[in-house]
Amino acid sequence: MNKEILKDFIQRVWNEGDISAISEYLADSYHVMHDPGDPWNGMTLDVAGFQNRVSISRAPVPDQRFEIQSLFENEDSVCMTWLWKGTHLGEIAGIPPTGKTLHMSGATVYFFENNKISGHWQVADRLSIFQQLQANRSQ
């Protein structure tokens, strides 16, 4: 069941940018347990805080898409491996938009409480994004 909830959440919230749907999926508090390079790393967010996080995260790459590679479910967690891509249309880390497509991969463990997502632990290849931004800037 949690796998289906997560698939819907990724599609509606992260791929389509429907921040009004966040309250359907999130627990009252959401803890970013481990996500190096994420400005929200270590924070606990309410629904409004998570909506802000999605809006800010999607702004420089509004067409971003997560392509789920695999899902592994336990009682209270789902591990998702993913590929991500999006067009660099806004400033990222002081680098102006290049219009180029960026690619990244990662794995995220989402935690659930009463069929609501309550947090995540993630590793993402953010170094490759930085390398792509640097290469695109010099072209």
The pLDDT tens digits for 3-26 are 999 999 999 999 999 999 999 999
What is the average per-residue pLDDT within 103-111? Answer: 98
The pLDDT tens digits for 47-96 are 999 999 999 999 999 999 999 999 999 999 999 999 999 999 999 989 99
DSSP state of 17: -
Res. 137: pLDDT tops 90: no
> What CATH code is carried by the domain that includes residue 108?
3.10.450.50
Please state the domain count of the chain: 1
Neighbours of 89 (CB within 10 A): 15
Q: Tell me whether residue 61 is exposed, middle or buried, using C-beta atoms within 10 angstroms of its C-beta: 0 to 12, 13 to 18, 19 or more.
A: buried
Q: What is the pLDDT of residue 138?
A: 67
Q: Which domain holds residue 26?
A: 2-137
Question: Which long-range contacts (C-beta less than 8 Å, at least 24 apart) are formed by 95-102?
Answer: 95/133, 95/134, 95/137, 96/137, 97/60, 98/133, 98/136, 98/137, 98/139, 100/132, 100/136, 102/61, 102/129, 102/132, 102/133
Q: What is the pLDDT of residue 93?
A: 87
Sheet containing 116-124: order of strands: 44-45, 26-34, 116-124, 101-113, 77-87, 65-73
- Which of 78, 70, 67 is CA-nearest to residue 5? 78
Q: What is the pLDDT of residue 139?
A: 65
Give CA–CA dist 80/8, Å, rounded: 13
What tokens does 17 get?
């940018």
Binned at pLDDT 50, 70 and 90, residue 99 comes out as: very high
